[in-house]
């Protein structure tokens, strides 16, 4: 019998995009699919849309549950999957028609634990093809260690992380089950980082289908008025703690520098959100920035850490963070923002 692919789609209040997403999966040239729609407590018509698709195509299964977050929804999908391989789709994204046929053919032929393709970033109706520095093709364990580990959780220039997103990968189901791999339901943001770090450090085989831009990722224009939430920082701190527990004592590779850079990268993200929030007075921005800069974990991260590969502008910002210069940081970032936006 032909190998089956389980496609897990967490669904939460995405009635505007959901039909396009599901339709792009149903229209795949590879049709031995099991499509698991996990309706995570939607309050719009998403649940009805899911049930409608299930009534028309026997490949579609629907699970309705109380809202528990994307990690819990993905875990529920894994628990109910029966395919030889598993993949995940975000419910506002869509696929090119030949994606799964191309990836499954290679995965099955070469007996791969994890296979990844490239994707298209879609923002403000502008499409950008996203690839990375990794070489194309097949990797065995020692090649995974030598070529993937050095940028597993962050790149030296804080650029796009090559192995981060679950939606452009297929995973052998037996591999996930044998290693008891699942998503951390406590994490509410950046959950892919931890899951993919677990996956890649456990994988014996990996395949990169380079320059095959099969997945369309819809990126929203974030509202500059969106209120900063302190839990964003606490979530990223927990992520770094979990990554450190997973990778800190790895016998095959020293992740020490990456773990420090990952925490600092998280700080840059959070401080940027604070500075861009138009609903905050400058005094509140400075207080929030101070809270982040004064965290004890940052002092350890900056110890014995050089920044030879960063641009001068980033080096200056890192200097302000290292020496806890919150006021100067806000002034500098505000000036830069005004320059960019006229």
pLDDT one digit per residue (tens) for the chain, 342 residues = 589 999 999 999 999 999 999 999 999 999 999 999 999 999 999 999 999 999 999 999 999 999 999 999 999 999 999 999 999 999 999 999 999 999 999 999 999 999 999 999 999 999 999 998 899 999 999 999 999 999 999 988 876 665 778 999 999 999 999 999 999 999 988 899 999 999 999 999 999 999 999 999 998 765 444 667 889 999 999 999 999 999 999 999 999 999 999 999 999 999 999 998 888 899 999 999 999 999 999 999 999 999 987 889 899 999 999 999 999 999 999 888 777 765
pTM of the model: 0.94
Point out which residues pair with 60 in neighbouring strands. 35
Q: What's the pLDDT score for residue 158?
A: 78
């Amino acid at each position: 019998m032909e190998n089956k692919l389980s496609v897990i789609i967490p669904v939460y209040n995405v009635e505007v995009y959901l039909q396009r997403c599901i339709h792009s999966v149903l229209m795949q040239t590879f049709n031995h699919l099991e499509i698991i729609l996990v309706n995570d407590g939607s309050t719009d018509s998403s649940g009805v849309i899911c049930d409608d698709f299930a009534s028309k195509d026997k490949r579609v299964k629907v699970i309705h549950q109380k809202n528990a977050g994307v990690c819990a929804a993905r875990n529920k999908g894994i628990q109910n999957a029966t395919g030889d391989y598993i993949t995940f789709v975000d419910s506002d994204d869509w696929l090119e028609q030949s994606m799964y046929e191309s990836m499954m053919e290679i995965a099955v032929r070469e007996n791969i634990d994890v296979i990844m393709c490239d994707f298209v970033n879609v923002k403000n109706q502008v499409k950008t093809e996203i690839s990375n520095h990794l070489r194309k093709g097949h990797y065995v364990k020692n090649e995974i260690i030598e070529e993937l580990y050095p940028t597993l959780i962050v790149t030296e220039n804080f650029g796009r992380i090559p192995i981060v997103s679950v939606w452009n990968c297929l995973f052998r189901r037996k591999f996930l089950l044998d290693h008891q791999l699942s998503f951390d339901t406590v994490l509410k943001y950046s959950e892919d980082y931890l899951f993919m770090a677990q996956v890649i450090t456990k994988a014996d085989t990996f395949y990169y289908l380079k320059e095959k831009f099969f997945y369309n990722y819809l990126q929203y224009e974030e509202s500059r008025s969106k209120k900063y939430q302190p839990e964003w920082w606490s979530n990223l701190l927990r992520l770094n703690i979990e990554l450190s527990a997973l990778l800190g004592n790895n016998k095959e590779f020293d992740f020490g520098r990456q773990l420090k850079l990952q925490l600092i990268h998280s700080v840059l993200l959070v401080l940027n959100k604070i500075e861009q929030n138009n609903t905050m007075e400058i005094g509140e921005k400075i207080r929030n920035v101070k809270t982040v800069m004064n965290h004890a974990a940052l002092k350890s991260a900056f110890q014995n850490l050089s920044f030879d590969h960063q641009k001068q502008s980033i080096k200056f910002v890192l200097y302000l963070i290292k020496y806890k210069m919150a006021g100067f940081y806000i002034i500098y970032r505000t000036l830069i923002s005004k320059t960019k936006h006229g």
